[in-house]
Amino acid sequence: MRKDESGSPSELIDARIEQLGDWRGETLARVRKLIHDADPEVVEEWKWRGVPVWEHSGIICTGESYKDKVKLTFHKGASLEDPSGLFNASLEGNARRAIDIHEGEEISASALKGLILAAVELNESKATGRREK
């Protein structure tokens, strides 16, 4: 996206999906829908010169597109339980965890929704000063 492009964050994300025009756009659109299905109150943002961001009481995750993958980075992923083992990137850090999705790979809808809900719960607990498991 160019600096002179304007619009709401949701419109900019729509434009990014259309601009990609291949499996990456389809993947980004699919995970975006799963995020909204999991949390209808999610807020879409457009940050850091063109990164889709989903927030609810803080950042849940970002959705970056690269030549060979779509990367969902969970801002506080290291604090989330991942019983399905979706996290497959950025595993060494103290805060973030990511899911790299390559062409032809499917991601479990129920597992991703579970991570989204866990991230929202963690954000809300930090926002109110309490920590729940």
- In degrees and rounded to multiples of 5, residue 108 shows phi and psi of -65, 120
Q: Which residues contact 97 (CB under 8 A, 6 or more apart)?
A: 73, 74, 77, 78, 80, 82, 87, 89, 90, 91
Share of the chain above pLDDT 90, in %: 84
In a domain, 48, yes or no: yes
Q: What is the pLDDT of residue 126?
A: 80
**The pLDDT of residue 117 is above 60:** yes
Instruction: Give the domain CATH number at 26.
Output: 3.90.1150.200
User: Residue 110 is part of which domain span?
Assistant: 9-125
In a domain, 98, yes or no: yes
Assess if residue 3 is contained within a domain: no
Instruction: For residue range 45-94, list pLDDT tens digits in order.
Output: 999 888 999 999 999 999 999 999 999 999 999 999 999 999 999 998 89
**CA-CA-CA-CA torsion sign (114, 78, 88, 18):** positive
Residue 39 has pLDDT above 90, yes or no: yes
Within a domain: residue 2? no
Sheet bearing 59-65, strands edge to edge: 43-47, 51-55, 59-65, 70-74, 97-101
Averaged confidence pLDDT in the chain: 91
pLDDT greater than 80 at residue 127:
no
Beta bridge partners of 114: none
Residue 3 pLDDT more than 60? no
Task: Give how many domains the chain has, as a whole number.
Answer: 1
What is the model's pLDDT at position 133? 46
* Residue 131 covered by a domain: no
